[in-house]
Each structure stands twice: as C-alpha cells, then as structure tokens.
A and B are shown apart, each in its own frame.
Chain A
Amino acid sequence: MPLETRIYQKENHLKLGHLFKASFKDMLSSRFLAKQLAVRDIKAQYRQSFFGILWAFITPMFTALVWVFLSRSGTVTLTETGAPYPVFAFTGTLIWSIITESINAPTASTKSAKGIMSKINFPKEALVLSGVYKLLFNTCIKTLLLLFFVFFYGVGFHVSQLFFPLAILMAILFGTTIGLFLTPIGMLYNDVGKIISVGLSFLMYVTPVVYVIPKEGLMKTIMELNPLTPLILTSRDLILGNPPAFLNYFLILFAVSALLFSVALVFYRISIPILVERSNA
C-alpha cells in the first residue's frame, strides 16, 4: 500500500478544479465527523434543559404566533395574502430563518471549532457539513409544525408540497454559499458578524416574508430584484399549491448558487491555515 504524501509549502500550486475535488472528497469522507459534531451540539443544546427537545418547537411557533397576533389584532394591516395568514406567515418566517441560519452557520461552526482547529488536523469541510446537518434537524421540526398548520387551516394536500424539501435545500445552498464567502473575514473581524445581523434585519423588510409584494412603487421593484424573494415565494407557492411565480428566477439562482458554492468551498479551504495562524486559540 503506497503511503499518502502531503506537501506543505507557501504556494497554492493547485488548480481550482483540483482544490474543489479535494474539498468535495473531504466533505464526503468527513460525513461521520460532521454527524458526530452535529449530534454533539444538538444533544448538548437540549440536554441541560427540562423541556429538552420541545424548545425546538417552541421557538419557531412563537415567531409565527407573533405575526398571527399582529394581523388578527389589527396592529398591522396587511394586504390580503390569498391564504390563511398563519400558514402564509409561518412559511415565510420558516424559509427566512433557514436562510439567515445558513448564512451564519459556517462562521458559527468554524468559530466554535477554533480550539480544535489550532491543534488537530481534520477536514474542515466537516464543520460546514455539520452546520448543514444542524440546520436540517431544526428545519425538520419546523416543517412538521408547518404541516400541522397546513392541515389545521384547511390548505390541504397539494402535489407541489412534495417539492418543498427541494426549496429548503436551495435556501440552505444559497445561505451557506454566502456564509462560506463571509467566514474567512468574519473569523478575523467580528465586525462582519455585526454587519450581517444588522443587514439581515433590514433585508427582511424588503423581502416578502410576512407580507405580499406591493402592487406598485419602489418597494415592488426592490422586492422583485431581491434574490431572497424567489426563495421565499417559490417555497410558499409550493406549500399553498399555487403556480410558482418566480420559478425562472429561482432556477437561475440555483445554477448561480451551485457554481458559486464550489468556489466558496475552495476559498474556505485555502483560507483555513491563515485563520488558524491569525486567530490564536
């Protein structure tokens, strides 16, 4: 059996293609590690609490309830959505939370692994993957809640709902890609994290998360250009059984994200040694 040879030197001689291949290979081979890390974090998160896993349901339910309350009580008057508002709001916030969480996930997993990263050499792609696993876990729980709402409010079953998981995966792909590009600088400067959270809370208002796109005006233009719009609307249309209005934009976004994701993965991979060197842990 020939021994694997590793060479460490200053230059990156490797081509983008090679790097992506190596990155992808590590991603595959680190599935067990990623699963283990995700399970560790999830278990640790809920073990030290009385209600345990229930919290995973409670948090998203309350986000939805807030909007239901605001619309029912008339505090916020919203344009007619064409669907039971709880379902409408819950799909929106669900996808929105997936996007924001997946933008933050790579930085969060990388930061929490800073200690091991500076001591042990393991495939860092596992951190990205474990972030995705954790997201999928949270999403599954939220989707169960969504299903409950869908039937409770009489939306009923539509074939298109079967494609909903694909929309979720797309949202994760999109968010993770952005997150991966931001991680290296976010690891160096905490400013990045702050900018993201401020930026996202602003972005939420120019994205049709809890209301529909206005019929006219500046907001309409912004929302129609906003790349988050097709993500939210397509998944909502799939749940409600409407024909997806932004399907083309959605598909283009998918192609671009998939391409950029491989670039982001390579960027992340070659940045890690610099981050380990600069962030002492």
Chain B
Amino acid sequence: MKEEKNIHTNSEVLVKVEGLSKKFCKDLKTSLWYGVKDLTANVFGNKNVRQLRDKEFWAVKDINFELRRGECLGLIGHNGAGKSTLLKILNGLINPDEGKVTIRGRVGALIELGAGFNPILSGRENIYNNGAVLGFSKKEIDEKVEAIIDFSEIREFIDMPVQNYSSGMKVRLGFAVAAQMEPDVLIIDEVLAVGDIGFAMKSFNAISQILKTSAVIFVSHSMPFISRICDNIILMDKGKMLLKTNDVGFGVQSYFDNQKLLGALNFGEENIILNNVKIHSENPRLEGIIEYGKKSIFEINIDSLNDYPKVKVSILVYNMAQINVALFESRYISIKSIKGQKFIFDFGDSFLSISNYFITVRFDDLDNKKALVVSNYVNYRSFQVTGAERLVFAPLYLKEKI
C-alpha cells in the first residue's frame, strides 16, 4: 500500500447513503417500454417524484448509512433482498429512483473477476484487457504485470489462450489483476472464496491489506467471512434495511433468525433431503432451546432417494463468531428410500455456554469402509442455550448415548 493514503484521517466519511431507493419491473415487455419512457424523461432532467407504476416494486427501499475509511460494512440478506442492486447503485452502474449516494475517492469493485476476458487471447493479453477495464493505464499494467502473474501462480500458462484455462485458473488471474487496485472504496460481491483453499487464503490476505486503508462494502452469504472481516452489519430483506448494527454477532444471528425458509446450502449428492431439525432439551415444546446442563436432543426428519444401510449424522455447532464449538456425532443409522423418516438423537447433557448457535448437518455414508458425504447442509438453523450457567469445561466432542 502506498504511504500517502495514511495521511487521510481515519474518520473521514467516504460513503454516504441517504434514503436510497430503487424500483424494478417484474415484466420484461413492460420494463422495456418504461425504459423508453425513462430515456425520454431523462433528457428533460427527470425531476418528478417516482411513484410505483404498474408491475413495479421497490427492489431497494430507503437505505441509509455512512462508511468511513478503515471500516467494513457487511451487507447480508437472502437472495433477492436487494444487496446486488444496492451495490450496483453504489458502483454507479444504475441510478437511484430516490435518495442520494455520495462517494469520495477511487472506487474499486470486485464483482465479477476476469470481466472482459476473451477466450481466444492469451492470459497475458487478457491481463491488459482486464486491467484496462478496471481503469489501469498502460504504464500501470506494465509495472504490475509481473506481480499479477506471480500472484496468480500460473506463469507457466500465461501465454496460453484463456479458453484452455480451468475455471480456477481464470478466477486466479481475474483476482490477481483486481487485487492490484488501490481503491479508497472497495465493493466486494461474493468473490472471496475462489480457487482452492491456498488461493482463497491468499486472496483473503490481499483483501485484508486493502481493508486497512479503505472503506469496504462486503456482500457474502458466508457468515464466517462476514464475521472475520466486517465491523458493521446491514441485514436486508425485500429491499428494506431490517437491521443496522455494529454488533456483528447479533447481525449474523439475525440473519439466521430471518432465514425462516430453510434456504441452507446443500453440498454433496443431495440424495438425502433434510426436512427439519428440532432441537430441545426434555420438553419438546420448548423447540430451539437447550437448557444449560440438560439433555440435548436433536430430532431429524428426512426424505431419502436411496437406501443407505450405514449412515452417520454429524451435527457441527458454530457460535455466532463462526467458530466451530462442538461436534455431535450419531451412531450409525440405516436410512431407507422413503419420505418423512424421523430419527431422534440424544446427545446427553450439553455444556455449551449460554448463547446462540447454529448448526451444519452432514450425512456420511460408510460404504465399503469409505466415508462419503451424501448431503451437507451448511448454516442449517440456529438454536439457543439458556438457563443457569456453571463454570464447567464444555466438551467439544459428544457421542450419542446408546
């Protein structure tokens, strides 16, 4: 990072958003026609108050926040909550229908890596194209090209056409170029978890460097990244700001609470469909609550598309800082190819501290002595631990009592 950036005080407001709203149209034909109308209105300044026209809805409604240098704002919410639209407005790609955005300094956006790549051209040629699109001058790219190639770790293939690159290599190259930006305001949309673990960590570190000297707006569905990077959270739902807080843990928790429909990510073969998980202590009616020092019972309801004679259910418990605090492993169960099977696991007395947690549920099939992940539901649901806490060492690894 260049030193001159440190001259600016840390408290200067770089991004100011006031009463920002944007509407979209649900119907293509109508949308195109409104487009023509807007084009005409635009020529005359378009100063009228915008009302919702037929078939329109507010994609973003009344957003307000300020962001200073050195701060990182996490923008979370489910798909369609309006996060990407908000980013597009902040990036100046589309104009708001109400309100105002004031941005100071050079804006960098990590939204799509490798924008403008041409498959026929070599990696090196594409570095110049991509760099030019991102606003670098020829001189800047000349200076940085070696650093970019080193960062991407694909020197060997740099003169090969990009069409022969693996998707991971393309992303590496795209990130390597984008990481050379020295923005005052950085907008990141779901691009951190790129490539393999090693490269993901490398890109994470590169971002952390940029974080120190700029104001960052970060959109992700990965709560671990959010908790590690952000110091402010805005939770969006249906275009509105549901919550604005600088308590990141609380923000992340609200995100899961807001996740009424279990839109959890499922990795694996998806042959086991998790319908619901009920979590309680002795009293099944106090669902979602485990009393400190009492039984932890997990009732799992699943559909399966196959017969699995020997399956182990693992429930990973995370605290709100996204740290894995416990692993509950079941005995081997036999799953039939039918719908609505219910399994009740009693993991014994729980000594998790009083707080909120969420779980990841994984199904491993032990077939031919090899464990295969059948389904893995990440960020599945949350639960709470209540009651009177005693100072006891909380076991991290619990096995189901048989």
CB distance B4 to A1 under 8 Å?
yes
Of B73-81, B96-104, B277-285, B344-352, the one touching chain A: B96-104
- Name the CB-closest residue of B to A32: B138
Q: Of residues 84 to 129 in A, which have CB atoms within 8 Å of B's CB atoms? A: 113, 115-122
- Docked CA distance A6–B137 (Å): 21
Of A41-49, A57-65, A235-243, the one touching chain B: A41-49
CB distance B121 to A47 under 8 Å?
yes
Give the Cβ gap from B161 to chain A, nearest Cβ, in Å.
9
- Per DSSP, chain B at the interface is mixed
The answer to the question of B112 belonging to the interface, with a C-beta cut-off of 8 Å to chain A, is yes
The answer to the question of A37 belonging to the interface, with a C-beta cut-off of 8 Å to chain B, is yes
CB distance B132 to A33 under 8 Å?
yes
CB distance A3 to B109 under 8 Å?
no
The answer to the question of B180 belonging to the interface, with a C-beta cut-off of 8 Å to chain A, is no
CB distance A184 to B39 under 8 Å?
yes
Q: Of residues 106 to 152 in B, which have CB atoms within 8 Å of A's CB atoms? A: 106-107, 109, 111-112, 115-116, 118, 120-121, 125, 128-129, 132-135, 137-138
A44/B35 contact (C-beta < 8 A), A7-B101, A36-B128 known: no
Give the Cβ gap from A260 to chain B, nearest Cβ, in Å.
14
The answer to the question of A13 belonging to the interface, with a C-beta cut-off of 8 Å to chain B, is yes
Chain B interface size, under 10 / 10 to 19 / 20 to 34 / 35 or more: 35 or more
Of B43-51, B322-330, B354-362, the one touching chain A: B43-51
A121/B36 contact (C-beta < 8 A), A10-B98, A116-B133 known: no
A residues near B101, Cβ cutoff 8 Å: 6-9
CB distance A40 to B118 under 8 Å?
yes
- Name the CB-closest residue of B to A47: B120
CB distance A12 to B92 under 8 Å?
no
B residues near A36, Cβ cutoff 8 Å: 128-129, 132
The answer to the question of B221 belonging to the interface, with a C-beta cut-off of 8 Å to chain A, is no
A residues near B50, Cβ cutoff 8 Å: 10
- Docked CA distance A278–B33 (Å): 10
15 contacts between A and B (CB under 8 A): A3-B104, A6-B104, A6-B107, A7-B103, A12-B45, A32-B138, A37-B129, A43-B125, A47-B121, A119-B109, A120-B133, A185-B36, A267-B43, A277-B35, A277-B94
Chain B residues packing against A (C-beta within 8 Å): 4, 8, 14, 24, 31-32, 34-36, 38-39, 42-43, 45-47, 50, 88-107, 109, 111-112, 115-116, 118, 120-121, 125, 128-129, 132-135, 137-138, 184
